[in-house]
Structures are given as C-alpha cells and as structure tokens.
Chains A and B, each alone.
Chain A
Amino acid sequence: MKITRDNYEPFFLDYLEGNLDENKIDQFLDFLVQNPDLKEELHLLEHVHLPEEQIIFSEKMMLYKSAADEKVVTENKAIAYLEGDLDDDDRKSFETYLATHPELQKEYTVFTKTRLIPEAGIKYPDKLKLYKKSGLTVVMKWAVRAAAVVVLLWGINSLFQNENQPTAVKSNQEIAALSPKVNTPVKTIESAKKSQETENQEELKTENESKLVKTKSIRRQAKRRPAEKVPTVLPSAERDLTVLAEITPITTKLDFEAEASLLAVSHSVNTEKINDPRNIMTVEEFLASRAKKAGNEGLLSAQRIMRLGLSVASELSGQRISYKVKGGKVSSLDFESKLMAFSIPLEKK
C-alpha cells in the first residue's frame, strides 16, 4: 500500500508505536520529506503520552473465595434441604454430600433444632367475646328473658297475694269466731267454777265418780268450744283449777290478734266495701274523685296528673306505693313490701 495524504494516520501510529514494517520505513521517510507539514505533525504526536497512574482496587478481599464461603454454601444447602426447597436431584446430592462429610452432620442437626414449636400453653383467653350468635339464638335469648320477667312478675304478684290472703282468711275466721272466743274463756271459767263447786259438793263421793263427773264436764266444755284450738287444755289441768284461770290471758291475746287482723284487712282489698252498691263508682267518677283530691292546680297540670296517677296507684297497690309532697310538688316515691322497701327522691338538687 502506498502512503498518501489520505491514509498516513495509521502509518504515523504504527511508526510511533514501533509497529511499522521495516520494508515500509523507507517509503514512510520519503513521504515525510515530500510532505514537511506532516513531518511537523508527527513530531507533535510524539509528545502525546498518558502517564501511568497507581490505582489499586481495595476490595480484593471480598472477591477471594475461602473455606468460609464453602461453609455458607453448605449452610444454605442445609437450610434449603430443611425447608424442602431442593428439587429431587439437589436433595439426593446433598444427602450424599452429608453422608460423606460427618463433620457437617452435626451442623445440620443444629439446624433442625431451629424449628420453632408452638407453645400450646399460650391460648387466647377471651374466646367467649368473639363468638357470634345466630338470629334464632338471639330471638330465643330474648324470649327466655321475657319469660323470666313474666315469671318474676307472677312470683311477685303471687307473693303479694300470699301476703294478703292468709291474713284475710285468718281475720275472717277469727272475726267469725270472735264472739265465742271472747265468751268462751268466761264460760270456761264459769264451768270450771261450777265443776269446782260440784267437786266441793260431791266431795264425799268416791274418787272414781268424781273423776267421771270431771271428765264429763271437760267433754261438755270441749263440745261447747269446737273452734278453740289452744285450750284443748293441758291434761295436767284436770285437777288444778288454777290452771284454768291462767287461760284468761289467752283472751287478751285473741283480742290482740283480732286487732291485727283488722289492720291487715285495712291493707288488703276490702271486697265487702267494693261490692257494696253504695261504694260502687264508675271509672270516671273514681278518677274525678281522685283528681279532686289531687290538688287545686290547673286540670291538666303535670303535678296534678302525677299526683292523680300516684294516688290511684297507691290505692290499687294497697298503699304499698306512696309519695310525699313538698311545696306542692311530688318530692319522692316510696315502695314498701315485706321483702323490700325503697324510696326514690324526685327533687332536683
């Protein structure tokens, strides 16, 4: 190839780097003589040279491979085997490797111990709060609650009735038996005195006859007072007439009980009074009479309506429900029964 002004650059580079063929050196020198401007350019290129720099890669240690890396690879293999991440070939390969390296078996055994076991002792304590109930269960639950309320109300009602009924029955019985009871002890005393007189008069009679008379006398007394239960009198009182005198206080007791029964009647619903045609009022008349008692405020004032309602409730409940009025206003509600009593203050503080 002939050197021309169009292709001289590669020849220049080869000459400067010492790679120009020897048989072309003469041709190259002739070209420079013929082209002195290019000879100057060649001299300029001779000075273009990059100095060598001392740059060192400092992370060479990271690139080196060592036994530790082999250990990491082995660990990763062991973990992968443990986790079931290896395919069949790798798994068999690892098993073979493990079998031929007993020192790794211990390492692998330690890996197997890293499996966490759930602690069965830890349990969620509030499971009951999480459960949900079906609609049917909820309905049943409310039905049961409603039934319980009904039963409770029935129980309270029957309790109140029980409070009234025995007293009323007792009072009726005792009222019915009141006159004989009051008189009976007197008669008893009289008959006792008579028997005493008889005894005195017939003192001379044989003791057996006397006993017979006394027995008859006692039987007669028993016939006269069938309602009286208490003085089925002490057998020991047969001879000792002073014992008969001791019966007298029983009269007082009966009188006291009669008063108590009367008091009980006043608390209970007085059916005689209710059934008396003179006392029968229509509902309107009854309410009107209570409204009249309730106060002098406007007919539809809240306090008056409240007092009217409470008054009616009080009367219907046998005065178990009552209220107190302070300054023209209902200040508290009271409830009193044998089981419980409470008061609800209504005044604003």
Chain B
Amino acid sequence: MNVKEYNQSVDLYSDNVFRFILKNIKDEERARDIVQDSYEKLWRNAEHVNPEKVKSYLFTTAYHTMIDILRKDKRQTYMEDYQIPEDMHDEQYSDLAEILNYAVKLLPEIQRTVILLRDYEGYSYKEIGDITTLSEAQVKVYIYRARVFLKSYIGKMDLVV
C-alpha cells in the first residue's frame, strides 16, 4: 500500500479502531497508544499489506496489542467505573442505549470483544475468528451468549424503566 492508501486508512478506520479498543479497556490514553502503535505497525509493513485487508489488519493488530497489555497489566480494570465524557455522547443517546452501554461493560471480555466486532464493524464469524484467533463455532457461541445476556439485562431494566 502507498502513502495515499495509508492516509485513507487513517481517515476510514482510526475512529473505529479507537472506539473498539476504548470500549474494551478503561484507559483512553492506552487506547490512543494502541491505535498509534497499530498504525505504526501497518506503516512498517505497508509493502506487505493488501489495501483491501487493511481494516482487518488494523483490528487484529490492535486487538492483540490490547490483549498483550491487559495480560501484562496486573492491575487491569475493565470499564465498570469508566464514564465516557459528556462531550462524547451521541446526541441520539437514549435510555436504552445507556442501559445497553452499561450492560456491555458487564460482559466477559471475550464476549464483549466479539459482539463489538460483530455489531460495530459488521464482521462475519470467520473474520472475527481470524482477528481473535477463535474458531467460528466459538465466536458464534460467544455472540449467542452475549445476546442472551444483553437481552435479559434489557428485559430486566425494561421492567424497572
């Protein structure tokens, strides 16, 4: 890939990768570093990366960097106590979206990862499996479990609301 294609990938995917990582870990600074690190790796390997697979390359690199960091970090904490700043809120943010956002934080790490890739990026089971080094069957099971959890959480909150 050339400079133009690389810069296009910054425009197209940097927000997505950042959002994906930020949703998985608590630390915004680290999320930024991971995105930057992923793009550095992409640039270093630009000659060998197929421009059509840049997005997958970025997500795969970012995911594994994140996992490495989380494993190394003994003090890893997930997003339970992380609050997205007010200015980051979408204007269309509804009660349901807030409930769902909170429920996603409660998911096990791997379920959260696969369902974010599925819903945010529209990846297939196979693509998610390639990114996370899981089998398609495992990905499917995690997504199903995540859906059931989210559905039951929404259902409960629906009664409360």
Residue among B14, B32, B96, B104 facing the most chain A CB atoms (10 A cut-off): B14
Q: Is the CB of A110 within 8 A of B120?
A: no
Q: Is the CB of A115 within 8 A of B144?
A: no
| Residue B56 interfacial (CB < 8 Å) | no
CA distance A131 to B104 in the complex (A): 32
Q: Is the CB of B7 within 8 A of A132?
A: yes
Given contacts A82-B147, A124-B15, contact A116 B10 (CB under 8 A): no
Minimum distance in angstroms from A138 CB to a CB of chain B: 10
Which residues of chain B (1-26) have a CB below 8 Å from chain A?
A: 3-4, 6-7, 10-11, 14-19, 22
A117 contact from B16, B87, B97, B118, Cβ within 8 A: B97
Residue among A75, A76, A113, A119 facing the most chain B CB atoms (10 A cut-off): A119
| Residue B52 interfacial (CB < 8 Å) | no
Q: Is the CB of B35 within 8 A of A116?
A: no
Instruction: Please give the number of chain B residues whose Cβ is less than 8 angstroms from any Cβ of chain A in the complex.
Output: 45
Q: Is the CB of A121 within 8 A of B88?
A: yes
CA distance A114 to B138 in the complex (A): 20
Q: Is the CB of B22 within 8 A of A130?
A: no
Minimum distance in angstroms from A86 CB to a CB of chain B: 13
| Residue B143 interfacial (CB < 8 Å) | yes
Which residues of chain B (36-77) have a CB below 8 Å from chain A?
A: 36, 39, 43
Given contacts A76-B144, A82-B147, contact A122 B43 (CB under 8 A): no
Q: Is the CB of B89 within 8 A of A114?
A: no
Across chains A and B, the number of contacting residue pairs, with CB separation under 8 Å, is 90
| Residue A79 interfacial (CB < 8 Å) | yes
A116 contact from B32, B88, B104, Cβ within 8 A: B104
Q: How large is the interface on A (under 10, 10 to 19, 20 to 34, 35 or more residues)?
A: 20 to 34
CA distance A83 to B136 in the complex (A): 14
Residue among A79, A118, A124 facing the most chain B CB atoms (10 A cut-off): A124
| Residue A134 interfacial (CB < 8 Å) | yes
Q: Is the CB of B143 within 8 A of A83?
A: yes
Shortest Cβ distance from B33 into A: residue: A126
Q: Is the CB of B151 within 8 A of A111?
A: yes
Which residues of chain A (130-151) have a CB below 8 Å from chain B?
A: 130-134
> Which residues from chain A contact B143 at a C-beta distance below 8 Å?
79, 83
Q: Is the CB of B39 within 8 A of A79?
A: no
Q: Is the CB of B3 within 8 A of A130?
A: no
CA distance A79 to B141 in the complex (A): 11
Q: Is the CB of B154 within 8 A of A116?
A: no
> Which residues from chain B contact A111 at a C-beta distance below 8 Å?
147, 151
CA distance A114 to B96 in the complex (A): 9
Contact with B along A75-99 (1 / 0, CB 8 A): 1100100110100000000000000
Minimum distance in angstroms from B114 CB to a CB of chain A: 11
CA distance A62 to B15 in the complex (A): 47
Given contacts A76-B144, A134-B3, contact A126 B32 (CB under 8 A): yes
Minimum distance in angstroms from B57 CB to a CB of chain A: 14
| Residue A129 interfacial (CB < 8 Å) | yes
Minimum distance in angstroms from B39 CB to a CB of chain A: 5
| Residue A123 interfacial (CB < 8 Å) | yes
Q: Is the CB of A119 within 8 A of B32?
A: no
> Which residues from chain B contact A116 at a C-beta distance below 8 Å?
100, 104, 115-116, 119-120
CA distance A85 to B139 in the complex (A): 13
Shortest Cβ distance from A111 into B: residue: B151
CA distance A132 to B39 in the complex (A): 10
11 A-B contact pairs sorted by A residue (CB < 8 Å): A118-B16, A119-B90, A119-B101, A121-B88, A122-B15, A122-B88, A124-B14, A125-B32, A130-B35, A132-B6, A132-B7
Taking A75-B148, A111-B151, A127-B11 as known contacts, 14 extra A-B pairs with beta carbons closer than 8 A to each other, sorted by chain A number, are A79-B143, A110-B151, A110-B155, A113-B151, A114-B146, A114-B150, A115-B119, A116-B104, A117-B119, A118-B19, A121-B84, A124-B14, A124-B15, A132-B7
Residues on A lying within 8 angstroms of B by beta carbon are: 75-76, 79, 82-83, 85, 107, 110-111, 113-127, 129-134
User: Nearest 7 pairs between A and B by C-beta?
Assistant: A124-B18, A116-B119, A114-B150, A124-B14, A121-B88, A130-B10, A122-B19
